Amino acid sequence: MTSFNLPEWSHPHRERVLTCLRNAFTTEESALHQACLYPIETGGKRIRPLFLCAGLEALGVHLTADHDAYIAGASIELIHTYSLVHDDLPCMDNDDFRRGKPTVHKQYNEGIAVLVGDALLTKAFEILTSLKTTPAQAVQLIQLLGKAAGSVGMIGGQSLDIGFEGTIDSIERLTKLHRRKTGALIAVGLEMAAVLGQATPTQQEALHTFGQQIGLAFQLADDLLDAEEDAQEDGPPNFTKLLGEEGTKTLAEQTMKQAIDSITELPNPSALLALAEFTVRRNH
Ligand code: GRG
């Protein structure tokens, strides 16, 4: 276990990302913007932007308060937030509460929840056009986010999850599902860090491997947290149903170790290592 103080390290990064998220919806006062701020203000771990920040630090980049990392991190968090808003809708998971508060369609109504999700999604790409980086790098980031959020990323994973591509009856198919549904949006932070931090090809490869493995490890840990609840459901299989709790725990630790092993040679990997451990051993 590392002695790195993750809460202390995270605090300023989370605050700066939150400022970018708020700025995105305070340009004009409207009822819709108020509704968009509702799921933003209910919090969450902001782990996806934190991976981006830690990835940049791993490359030796010092993050000043106005660094592009925060807008790029906010763009990932906007996609994540929209996915939760839409996933909670009655036509998907039909959840009444998220983070201890009424879901957006309960607080407002279903139509507004669809619009809030759409507005968060489109805002993610809009804010990426305001980066200080070169246009070529901005285009690269937009492309990475589009791929991670879309049909070969998060949405592709959701399509597998709701059974649109056939039954999920093996570890291979379940792994593919989660690499897309959950992993892609975590991995993209590391890919963005490589672009913003002008990583060498070797460093790019290290961050890519780390992102792939930690994205999967995040979902393995999530399945373990949900194991009790899921055991009673008839829903689609998950890792604990296919591998058992001990098997899932072992795979999560192995996957985390593969992630960690890939980045130890980077100039300053401490925050990334601490985030990797938190990802797998968290209790929320
Ligand atoms: C667009 C409808 C639609 C679905 C896309 C990502 C997704 C598919 C749905 C969201 C629901 C879900 C259970 C996703 C799995 C990933 C996951 C564990 C999300 C929770 O992420 P955390 O733990 O949440 O980072 P916080 O609350 O901390 O932000």
Q: Provide the residue ranges of all domains of the chain, joining segments of one domain with +.
A: 6-281
Share of the chain above pLDDT 90, in %: 89
Q: How many helices (H) and strands (E) does the chain have?
A: 14, 2
Q: Ligand 1 centroid vs 125 CA: distance in angstroms?
A: 19
Locate the ligand 1 atom nearest the alpha carbon of residue 219 and give its number.
18
- 24: CB partners within 8 A, 6+ apart: 74, 78, 123, 126, 127
pLDDT tens, 81-112?
999 999 999 999 999 999 999 999 999 999 99
- The pLDDT value given to residue 66: 97
- The phi and psi torsions of 89 (rounded to 5 degrees) equal -60, 155
Q: Whose alpha carbon is nearest atom 27 of ligand 1?
A: 44
Looking at residues 211-232, what average pLDDT do you find?
86
Looking at residues 3-10, what average pLDDT do you find?
95
Q: Ligand 1 centroid vs 232 CA: distance in angstroms?
A: 20
Looking at residues 60-74, what average pLDDT do you find?
98
Domain made up of 6-281: CATH architecture: Orthogonal Bundle (1.10)
Distances (CA, A) of 14 to 8, 30, 49, 241: 10, 25, 8, 34
- What residues are paired with 211 via a beta bridge? none
Q: Report the interhelical angle of 184-196 vs 68-87 (nearest 10°).
A: 170
- What count of residues does the chain have? 284
- The pLDDT value given to residue 267: 98
Taking Cα atoms as reference points, which of 188, 189, 190, 182 lies closest to residue 207? 190
Given a contact cutoff of 8 angstroms between Cβ atoms, the answer to whether 55 and 272 are in contact is yes
pLDDT higher than threshold 70 for residue 68 = yes
- The pLDDT value given to residue 138: 97
Rounded to two decimals, what is the model's pTM?
Answer: 0.96
**Among 2-6, 112-116, 130-134, 213-217, which stretch is predicted with the lowest mean pLDDT?**
2-6
Kindly indicate the confidence band of residue 282, based on its pLDDT and cuts at 50, 70 and 90: confident
Residue type, 250: T
Locate the ligand 1 atom nearest the alpha carbon of residue 99 and give its number.
27
Residue bearing the bigger pLDDT, 209 or 226: 209
pLDDT higher than threshold 70 for residue 230 = no
Taking Cα atoms as reference points, which of 193, 154, 184, 149 lies closest to residue 49? 193
Looking at residues 53-69, what average pLDDT do you find?
98
Pair of tokens at residue 267 = 């100039």
Looking at residues 221-230, what average pLDDT do you find?
82
Given a contact cutoff of 8 angstroms between Cβ atoms, the answer to whether 260 and 206 are in contact is no
Q: What is the rounded distance in angstroms from the CA atom of residue 191 to the CA atom of residue 209? A: 10
Kindly indicate the confidence band of residue 263, based on its pLDDT and cuts at 50, 70 and 90: very high
Given a contact cutoff of 8 angstroms between Cβ atoms, the answer to whether 170 and 36 are in contact is no
**Helical (H) or strand (E) element with 98:** strand 97-98
pLDDT tens, 110-160?
999 999 999 999 999 999 999 999 999 999 999 999 999 999 999 999 999
- The pLDDT value given to residue 229: 67
Q: Ligand 1 centroid vs 85 CA: distance in angstroms?
A: 9
Given a contact cutoff of 8 angstroms between Cβ atoms, the answer to whether 188 and 148 are in contact is yes
Q: What is the rounded distance in angstroms from the CA atom of residue 76 to the CA atom of residue 149? A: 9
